[in-house]
Amino acid sequence: MYKKIVYVIATVIIMFTVISEAEAKKGFYMGLGATYNTIDGKFNGSGGLKSDTDTIILPDIKNAFGVDILGGYGINDSWSIELNLMVSEHSGEWSGLTGDVDYASFSINGKYSFRSSDMTQPYLLFGISGNSLFIKNGSKNTATGEVGDATLSGAGVNFGAGIDTYITPHVSLTLGIMYRYVDYTEASGVDHSGTIDDGINGSGVSFLLTTAYHF
């Protein structure tokens, strides 16, 4: 038992010795992780869009987990640029009915890291995004009664912050939060697609946990 305790203590000491020497690297990196997304704004389950032929519902979209995929390039010790793809599958409620809503977002973000130690670096993030919502059976032709899927799309702006922890010189673990301001300006229904006057706000928050490999 005593030998096991000594072994565990020695392992922890060695591990933290290695970690203390890890630091951010310049160059390319790729990551994969989980995200927990909220979608708010005008999506409250009581509104909708109407054209000459179609109606599109705006359901109350429930929070959901999703996948976060990223690729980036470290320009120097502080600045990097990231390409980020997030997808999540939600449920939505409208007038007592429940259906599926899929969310996808592609972002280009600039990231500034503050050097606090070799192991841990807080960061701030700012960027732009393209966003899409796919609402299952979310559109109806008012003349024929035909029901089909609806798609909303629009641009957004991201503001984020978090902490990068470098487990080794090549592997980092990121815990972050990102506010997504999104304005949906294009809609497509059963028989009609077009521009949304004044847009539909669909902003939300993403909680992120990602692991990245730095080449």
Question: Could you write out the DSSP letters of every residue in 179-200?
Answer: EEEEEEEEEE-SS-EEEEEEEE
**What averages of pLDDT result for each successive group of 10 residues across the chain (215 residues)?**
45 45 72 96 86 88 96 91 96 88 97 81 95 93 86 96 90 95 92 84 96 93
What local confidence, expressed as pLDDT, does residue 118 receive?
65
What local confidence, expressed as pLDDT, does residue 117 receive?
65
Q: How many domains does the chain have?
A: 1
Following CA atoms 94, 98, 99, 100 in sequence, which dihedral angle do they give, to the nearest 10 degrees?
Answer: 100
What local confidence, expressed as pLDDT, does residue 16 receive?
44
CATH number at residue 152: 2.40.160.20
**Domain containing residue 161:** 2-214
Q: Does the reported pTM lie above 0.95?
A: no
